[in-house]
Chain A
Amino acid sequence: MKNKETIFQGTDMVKNFGETTVLHGINLELYKGDFTVIMGSSGSGKSTLLYVLSGMEQLSEGKLLYREKNSSKMLDITHASEKALTRLRAEEFGFVFQRTHLVSSLTLKENICMAGLICGSMSEKEVREKTDLLIRQMCLEKAEDRLPAQVSGGEAQRAAVARAVITNPIILFADEPTGALNKANTEEVLNLLTALHEEGQSVLLVTHDREAALRGNRILYLEDGAIVGELILTPYQGKNKGREQELASWLEGFCW
């Protein structure tokens, strides 16, 4: 990993909820261009790790550094202000959730466009052009003018991914993005994420789905709030028995 650029560097990260400690002094670095997958059983703290890295939750102890877009220095975001985090969410982070979480009063196209408009780094014309491009890429032409409640789960989640990447974020945080989808739609969304990764997009995916985890090139395993294992895989290039077996045997070590 020495050749890769670090985008997140967490040191001794602890997160407490009242008297319960969810993360126990985690040390972690995330690298640019990686498709990192966090796995673990329920209650292991994998979602909490995503929240603290994305600034949705503040660390109780420890330190979190982040390298901003076009910057060579690491910025301490451990106790970043809401204003600073808002800017990061608008310009440098992208989010995809388990439920699609599209704004119910906006059409799919408007949901995608809205994220671009909120972000200040692109002109309005660029936003509209990028929206059209993403709609084509995500095959949403037929559904673009429909409301989220009027489209299929797969279409909605594809729109959610498009919305997350319209701002060219440094990292795409995906929290169980296929958790509420059927098999066909899951495949579609995972293909999208893979395609984005292939184009250089850094992705942090939280999942407990082995199929989804296979898309990553770096798998972390969490147990009781600590990283207990790390697996480096070759980049995903379609179905590959060897990769599948490697992951399976690695997971077996955690009684998966």
Chain B
Amino acid sequence: MKKYQMLMKAVWKKQKESICGIVLLVFVLSLCLFSSLTLYTSGKPAVETEMDRLGFGDFTVWVHDEGEGLAEKVDCLTDVEQVTCQPLVFAGYKINGVHSDNEGQLLVYDGSVPYRFITGEGEDIPAPAIAQGTVYISPAMKSSFEVEIGDTVQFELSRKEGIINLTVAGYFADGFMGSSMIDMKSFLINSEDFAAMQEIVSTAAEVDALGRNGSMLHIFQRVDSSLSERDFYGKIQEETDISLYTEFTYRKESLLNYMVLLQNILCGFLIAFSVVLLIVCIIVTAHSLSAVVEQDKKDMAVLRTLGMSPKMLWGVYLSLYGGVILAGLLLGLAPCVWIATGMAKGMVSSTGILITIKTPVLFIFLLLMALVLLFTTFLILRTRKIFTIAPMETIRGAAGGKRVQTKFHRKFLEWDIALRELCFGRKNYIAVILIATFLTIFLAVVGRMGTWLGQHGEGLMDAFSVAEHDLGVQPFNREVPMDEIERVISWYSPIRETYELAMESVTVNGQEYEANVLNDTKWFHVLSGHVCDGDSILITDTVASELGISIGDTVRVAANGRIERYQVSGIYQCANGMGNNIGMSMEGYSKIGDITGYIWCYHYILKNGAMRDFAMDFLQEHYRGIDVHTNSWSGLNGIVLMMHGLMVALYLIATVFILVCVALISGKLLQAETGNMAIYKSMGLSTGRLRLSFALRFLIAVTAGSVVGLLLSAVFADGLIRRMFRLLGIGDFHSGFSMLGTLLPLAAIPLLFFLFAWTFSARLKQVSIVTLITENND
């Protein structure tokens, strides 16, 4: 036992730099993996618990007008366990001069529904008594409107003295609508303010009314009901007049998916990144271990001659490195709950809800065991060569290396030496090439996604809108002077194109969807098949998989009590409502719906798109009875912020990883090449030139790896992103050449390797020719 300890101490003393590096790598991997998994596994149960606590039904139906009577009717139906009614007021609003594209829902807070109040930083606070004139909002609005406590929210209830200003007093976790993925936001207000608002809305003349009274009906299905969700809701629609009042309906599962979508995307990226880190970790550990065994081979040979068995030596290395890796894993595991909590808090401005972190103990334990097993297997494989050490041959020192033919030129001596060393010791650089390949693939995926996303979320805007546009104007009555409005828009920028869009509720084969109706179908983003006409419709990938239909199939589309059969002409992209929508032509929709009402929104594509916000502000300020919007939505800022934050975090972690990898690999290489370095010095090659040559090896190897990674990412990245984006309802993703996706990984990764290698090669300054001579004069 004593000799084990002595040997372990000796190996530790000699290899402490590389051992510490491995611990650091495994620690970062473990931290990243376990934190993101903890957040991921906590997300859905936490949101579900919150929704249950706040009384969200199996279905929640948003209706206009009083919902009590409707609730009673629904409650009488068999298969219905319970219906609760939560009154609300729908109203448009303005914060800090920014008009919301969507209405908000004002809810009374009297303590009967146990809302959770939080700070903007995600800390729990005790439930306050909401004072008159104040409002509590979702923290997601911090990112969409840059709203702070003390700001004023202006609610538009009626044109005549119906603008109510409320001061933001704090934030609450919005369990139903908190996420930036959901346009509508809830506002909690005092019961007196609520009653006053209801009064304003109900007494306003129809022409002046801007807000509406409404309710949320939380409908619970009986546990013993044999109906499917779809049939259950169909029955409610058939047997009550709920559809006459319905604004929109959400299944609990759908809303839950919306609410956890952003953190799932974040966790998905982090988990995918952790897998890349795991691969990199294994490669680096393999390289380091091989170098250690190579370096200690002579010592091991001497110990063998003293009677130590290879098994004993193997045991020393295996237990030391195994222990080190386990320590790294445990060190990373320890703060994962704390990190996940921090991430959850940091995300409240995007998710609008504070995820309560619960450690999935069994899952984490099993994963830890799997990782230990993986690393142990790997260690066993890499240390096997200890058994093949032939004592005397090793002590004498066997001749090694194969001749490599590369030319030397005075002008490019540093480069030529780098190339020679690279080719001569190619085995040592395979690890570097592999690491560069994997990191490039991953960062290219992140970069491509970032480019697609755009600085302001342009990618999401296009994916979530039916068709490209800069400005949309929807008139609500005949008094709206559309000719004049178009002239106003033209002042800001000439109008390049214009078309009309209506978004109407329909059912397809009995399932409710939104129909995007265009007067000019060329604007649909058709992915396959062809655009629709009067007898056909377009469907999204989501609808296709949900209904099990494809191009050429015939479907029944119904609205307003009329039903028609249409053929599916193609698949198109529109992620609105997570892809739960279809595309129709005006001619096609006219068969089942009224196209003469004020359902049309005029979409304008401007020659100078940058002017759209100015035009929108002017129109909102000077015209009534219209809804003006851009291609964006209020929660987009939050999503873009989160995605950009995620990208920065991934780049930073990758940089740290590269730093540690270079430290480990360059340390071993320099140790092994001290002799050659000193010889070059004795020939008059300066330390600066030697360092440059050393760093160039990394540059050459990593550039090769990055090019391979880039080529692989060109083949696979879009497919990977597409799969992930399908979760968002975005059916298609294409990326081309971009600074972020192509040039950044290709330039940044080799450059970082080069710079870190240059930095770590500073130890060459200490390589003394005297040491070389004296070391070998023994």
Contact = CB atoms under 8 A, between A and B. Distances in A.
A175 B682 CA distance: 13
A8 interface: no
B410 A97 contact: no
B769 interface: yes
A56 interface: yes
B777 A91 contact: no
A98 B777 contact: yes
A91 B684 contact: yes
Given A104-B675, A105-B421, A115 B684 contact: yes
Nearest to A48: B770
B399 interface: yes
A56 B768 contact: yes
B401 A105 contact: yes
A56 B410 contact: no
A114 interface: yes
B683 A97 contact: no
Given A113-B408, A117-B413, A103 B401 contact: no
Contact of B676 (A104, A118, A124, A150): A104
A118 B686 CA distance: 9
Interface residues of A, number: 42
Nearest to A123: B410
Interface stretch (A61-69, A71-79, A80-88, A243-251): A80-88
B552 interface: no
A202 interface: no
B685 A149 contact: no
Given A56-B769, A98-B773, A101-B679, A117 B401 contact: no
A41 to B, nearest CB: 15
B773 A47 contact: yes
Interface in B377-412: 399-401, 403-404, 408-410
Contact of B777 (A106, A147, A176): A176
B634 interface: no
B773 to A, nearest CB: 5
Contacts of A118: 413, 680, 683-685
A256 to B, nearest CB: 20
Nearest to B680: A103
A117 B768 CA distance: 22
Nearest to B421: A105
A247 to B, nearest CB: 24
B243 to A, nearest CB: 81
B357 to A, nearest CB: 53
B540 interface: no
Among A106, A107, A127, residue most surrounded by chain B Cβ atoms (within 10 Å) = A106
B687 interface: yes
B529 interface: no
Nearest to B678: A101
Interface string B471-483: 0000000000000
Contacts of B420: 105-106
Interface in A168-200: 175-176, 179
A175 B773 contact: yes
Given A106-B420, A124-B409, A179-B777, A146 B403 contact: yes
Contacts of B424: 104-105
B772 A97 contact: yes
Interface in B726-778: 768-770, 772-774, 776-777
A103 B408 CA distance: 14
Contact of A149 (B400, B404, B421, B681): B400
A176 B773 CA distance: 10
A175 B770 CA distance: 11
Contact of A105 (B399, B676, B685): B676
A51 interface: yes
A89 interface: yes
A119 B399 contact: no
Contacts of B413: 117-118
B272 to A, nearest CB: 39
A119 B411 CA distance: 12
A5 interface: no
A124 B410 contact: yes
A162 to B, nearest CB: 12
A98 B772 CA distance: 10
Contacts of A89: 681-684
A101 B776 contact: yes
A120 B686 CA distance: 13
Nearest to B769: A56
Contact of A101 (B401, B682, B685): B682
Contacts of B403: 107, 145-147
A71 to B, nearest CB: 18
B425 interface: yes
Contacts of A113: 408
Interface string B207-225: 0000000000000000000
A90 B684 contact: yes
B401 A95 contact: no
B686 A103 contact: no
A215 interface: no
Interface of B: 399-401, 403-404, 408-410, 413, 420-421, 424-425, 675-676, 678-687, 768-770, 772-774, 776-777
Name the 5 nearest CB pairs between A and B, nearest first.
A90-B684, A149-B399, A105-B424, A89-B684, A99-B776
Given A86-B684, A163-B683, 13 more contacts: A97-B772, A97-B776, A99-B777, A101-B679, A101-B682, A104-B424, A104-B675, A110-B408, A117-B413, A118-B683, A124-B409, A149-B401, A150-B399
28 contacts: A47-B774, A51-B770, A86-B681, A87-B684, A89-B682, A89-B683, A90-B685, A91-B684, A97-B682, A98-B776, A98-B777, A101-B678, A103-B680, A104-B675, A105-B425, A110-B408, A114-B680, A114-B683, A115-B684, A117-B409, A118-B683, A120-B410, A147-B399, A149-B399, A149-B400, A149-B401, A175-B773, A175-B777
